[in-house]
Copies of this chain bind each other. A is one copy, B any other.
Amino acid sequence: MMSQLLALCLFVSLIITYNAPVADARIRHYKWDVKYEFKSPDCYKKLVITINGRTPGPTILAQQNDTIIVEVTNSLLTENLAIHWHGIRQIGTPWFDGTEGVTQCPILPGDTFTYKFVVDRPGTYMYHAHYGMQREAGLYGSIRVSLPDGQSEPFAYDYDRSIILNDWYHKSTYEQAAGLSSINFTWVGEPQSLLIQGKGRFNCSTPGTDASNCNASNPECSPYSMTVVPGKTYRLRITSVTALSALSFQIEGHNMTVVEADGHYVEPFVVQNLFIYSGETYSVLVRTDQDPSRNYWATTNVVSRNATTPPGLAIFNYYPNHPRRSPPTIPPPGPYWGDVDPRFNQSVRIKARQGFITPPPKFPDRVMLFLNTQNDVNGYRRWSINNVSFNLSHTPYLIALKENMHHTFTQIPPPDGYDFLKLNIYERNPNASGTTTDAVYRLPFDATVDVILQNTNSMVVNNSETHPWHLHGHDFWVLGYGRGKFDPYKDPEKYNLVDPIMKNTVPLHPYSWTAVRFKADNPGVWLFHCHVEAHFFMGMGVVFEEGIDRVGELPSSIMGCGATKQFSKP
């Protein structure tokens, strides 16, 4: 009986496979072992989380509609784990988004968890830990999804390369988290270095450095060198997973043509430097049209903060020059950190490429105003939306909502807006005390939702920070950016409904606003949060539920924590 059933299932699957429109899609199978190891990515030895011995982890290379299977074994000693596939919408597989507390329970030490999802759009994406502050410990990598064989991009290039940017702290994520969550609040401070493709260079002579842990001649921290052939066009896929820093990236003497952002084609424009915020990806085309007898600096530097972090340096190596040969020049300094205008202008400039525009719905069904505030809640420094700071429930929302375990979190939704008439974004928050919640926003399925992110002054006088907001499970249309205070009556008239770019991560500039629109058409439960690791840790996020009744049967592998500890499928 059993074997007959199996045979039937096999037969049915064969039929399904045969009829599938993506018949040439492949399965890409990865086995990852995650553990702590000592590494010296910037010459300073510290404990990092590696995948198969590496940080950044292996690059996932796939074609559109491929199925990615990643078997993650947690070989950390006492610590759990979850990995988010940033930019992959997880259509039909909301349980594999990898967001601990939202879509799954964490993976316990010794356990192997299998992620399985389809990469349904070409483009540049990333993966990283999404649990506590583990991303900062080094668990991250690139995802590159190319078009199916025979299809081509609307731009030409000879070679395709990935670069992932990060900032790097010498203190452990535990130390950072303990400082952030203490009554005696301790800010993690500026990162010690910037990493390009996992390599940076900390000055071991910096006062206070434990010399025994710092070795400037360690080959691990030799600058990343990208070898290029003269006279060619390179597609550089640039990703930022920084914990904190907004970055500028530039290649000495070379223009860059922006052609892709977060998996969407951009109407091409040329920049000398690319501003990139944590959670964003861009593809730029670079023509190797400079003097081929030398190498050039590729550099990245912190913008938007008056940071002490030195720039990150890599070598743009013109073949056949030696890849380690230093360029004869001083590395270009990059733009001044305090200029908001160039960053704001780049944001505005990014539009959908002609011929590849997905028009947004004309009107929203629901408008949410999200005031970004810093608060002191019961003595703890927090980040909040509308003065409400977010704490993850102990039971992942996807499971709680799908299985009607509504007792596991507050059922009163957080506020949809703020008193925009009274608001003065340039003063310290008059409602600094604030509150916390573990509640979610429940959206009508298929609704068109506008979110306007409004930046304000932080708790520090004359300071407003940059927040890159990332939405899981969706791409949104970027309707507009504005300086100052958003006017809900007038500013929507200026929205770009003609050729807005779609993205999954968008910057909110200091003392500014950013408006996005998305369709709540992906059944599941999705986090929307500031991608600054410390900011989300301090409560800067919200959760959207949509179409929970359309979510398929949850895999039992995502359960086992909070109220789902004893929850098993029959």
Contact = CB atoms under 8 A, between A and B. Distances in A.
Contacts of A557: 565
A345 interface: no
A177 B108 contact: no
Contacts of A556: 565-566
Contacts of A561: 108, 110-111, 560
Contacts of A105: 108
B38 A182 contact: yes
Contacts of A134: 78
Contacts of A559: 565-566
Contact of A36 (B78, B111, B178, B394): B178
5 contacts: A36-B178, A38-B175, A77-B132, A560-B565, A568-B568
Which of A36, A211, A212 has the most CB atoms of chain B within a 10 A radius of its CB?
Answer: A36
A458 B177 CA distance: 40
A326 interface: no
Given A78-B79, A79-B79, A38 B106 contact: no
Oligomer copy total: 2
A67 interface: no
A562 interface: yes
A21 interface: no
Given A36-B174, A78-B81, 6 more contacts: A47-B172, A78-B131, A80-B109, A110-B561, A208-B212, A556-B566
A286 interface: no
Contacts of A110: 394, 561-562
B394 A562 contact: no
A253 interface: no
Contacts of A394: 110-111
The contact size tier of chain A is 35 or more
- Helix, strand, loop or mixed for chain A's interface? loop
A36 B176 CA distance: 11
A133 interface: yes
Contacts of A427: none
Interface of A: 36-38, 47, 77-81, 105-106, 108-111, 131-134, 172, 174-175, 177-179, 181-182, 186, 208, 210-212, 394, 556-557, 559-562, 565-569
A73 to B, nearest CB: 10
B174 A77 contact: yes
Nearest to A133: B77
A403 B215 CA distance: 53
Contacts of A174: 36, 47, 77, 172, 174
A181 B33 CA distance: 14
Nearest to A567: B568
A154 B15 CA distance: 83
Nearest to A129: B78
Nearest to A392: B110
Which of A106, A110, A211 has the most CB atoms of chain B within a 10 A radius of its CB?
Answer: A110
Nearest to A561: B108
Contact of A77 (B38, B47, B177, B567): B177
Nearest to A177: B77
A238 B138 CA distance: 43
The 7 A-B pairs with the shortest beta carbon distances in the complex, nearest first, are: A78-B132, A110-B394, A77-B132, A36-B178, A568-B568, A566-B568, A79-B79
A110 to B, nearest CB: 4
A537 to B, nearest CB: 9
Nearest to A82: B78
A559 B105 CA distance: 15
Nearest to A565: B560
Nearest to A562: B110
Given A77-B132, A78-B106, A47 B111 contact: no
Nearest to A179: B38
Which of A78, A111, A557, A567 has the most CB atoms of chain B within a 10 A radius of its CB?
Answer: A78
Which of A79, A172, A210, A568 has the most CB atoms of chain B within a 10 A radius of its CB?
Answer: A79
A212 B38 CA distance: 23
Given A37-B182, A80-B80, A175 B108 contact: no
Contacts of A81: 78
Contact of A38 (B111, B178, B568): B178
Contacts of A133: 77
A566 B554 CA distance: 13
Nearest to A108: B561
Contacts of A212: 208
Contacts of A77: 132-133, 174, 177, 181
Contacts of A131: 78
A491 to B, nearest CB: 39
Contacts of A79: 78-80
A36 B172 contact: no
Contacts of A177: 36, 77
A186 to B, nearest CB: 8
A174 B35 CA distance: 11
Which of A109, A179, A211, A568 has the most CB atoms of chain B within a 10 A radius of its CB?
Answer: A109
A174 B78 CA distance: 9
A175 B171 CA distance: 12
Contacts of A78: 79-81, 106, 131-132, 134
Nearest to A394: B110
Contacts of A36: 174, 177-178
